[in-house]
Amino acid sequence: MRTREGGLIAIDEAAVIARVRAGEAEAYAALVRAHTAVALRAAVACGAGAEAEDVVQQAFFKAYRSLGRFKEGAAFRPWLLRIVVNETRNTVRSAGRQRAVAGREAELLAGEPLIPDGADPAVAVEEDERRRRLLAALDGLSEDHRQVVIHRYLLELDETETAEALGWPRGTVKSRLSRALKKLGLALEGGDEHDGRRALG
What pLDDT is attached to residue 108? 57
Q: Which CATH number fits domain 115-201: 1.10.10.10, 3.30.1120.80, 3.40.50.300, 3.40.228.10?
A: 1.10.10.10
- Of 2-16, 61-75, 131-145, the range with the lowest mean pLDDT is 2-16
CATH topology for the 1-112 domain = Rna Polymerase Sigma Factor; Chain: A (1.10.1740)
Give the tens place of pLDDT for each residue, 155-187: 889 999 999 999 999 999 999 999 999 998 888
The answer to whether residue 148 scores a pLDDT higher than 60 is: yes
Domain extents in the chain? 1-112, 115-201
Mean pLDDT of 137-165: 91
The answer to whether residue 114 scores a pLDDT higher than 60 is: no
Mean pLDDT of 92-119: 56
Distance CA 53, CA 63 (A): 15
Is residue 152 within 8 A of residue 138, CB to CB? The reply is: no
What pLDDT is attached to residue 12? 85
Is residue 127 within 8 A of residue 115, CB to CB? The reply is: no
Distance CA 74, CA 76 (A): 6
CA–centroid distance for 173 within its chain = 15
- Of 78-82, 98-102, 119-123, 179-183, the range with the lowest mean pLDDT is 98-102
Give the tens place of pLDDT for each residue, 76-85: 999 999 999 9
